[in-house]
Amino acid sequence: MHVVFTGRVIEWRGPAPFYFAAVPEEQAADIREVAAMATYGWGAVPVEARIGEITFTTSLFPRDRGYLLPLRNAVRQPQRLAAGDDVTVSMTVRLQGRSHSSPPTDPCRPA
């Protein structure tokens, strides 16, 4: 399943700050429909995402019936993304048990 969305970058404060892009409700509802075929446990949904020229693999975190896309510094900093910014993401949900034509990508290198 392929999804394109624009979401707000949020900062989650804890022992160390983490950044996420919030998946809008419309796209989150679509993802929920296939989540059971994709999740590998506790609701995390594996995805391959692209922001600008950077493609990376990660897992969506479920939160309040929606999802958060983690944004590592290797992805966020080259794009100069900060909390409160809107970001456009092109993302493919990686369904379990299906072969993938491309290997996982390194989030530290542009694809």
Q: Which two tokens stand for residue 56?
A: 């990376």
Q: What's the Cα-to-Cα distance from 89 to each of 23, 36, 95, rounded to whole Å?
A: 9, 22, 18
Q: What's the Cα-to-Cα distance from 35 to each of 39, 41, 80, rounded to whole Å?
A: 6, 10, 30
- CA dist., res. 111 & res. 58, Å (int): 15
Could you tell me which residues come within 8 angstroms of residue 63 by beta carbon, excluding any fewer than 6 positions away?
none
Q: What is the DSSP letter of 82?
A: -
Q: How many other CB atoms sit within 10 Å of the CB of residue 11?
A: 12
Structural domains in the chain, CATH included, are 2-93 (2.40.30.100)
Percent with pLDDT over 70 in the chain:
86
Tens digit of pLDDT for each residue in 48-68? 999 999 999 999 999 988 999
Mean pLDDT of 8-16: 86
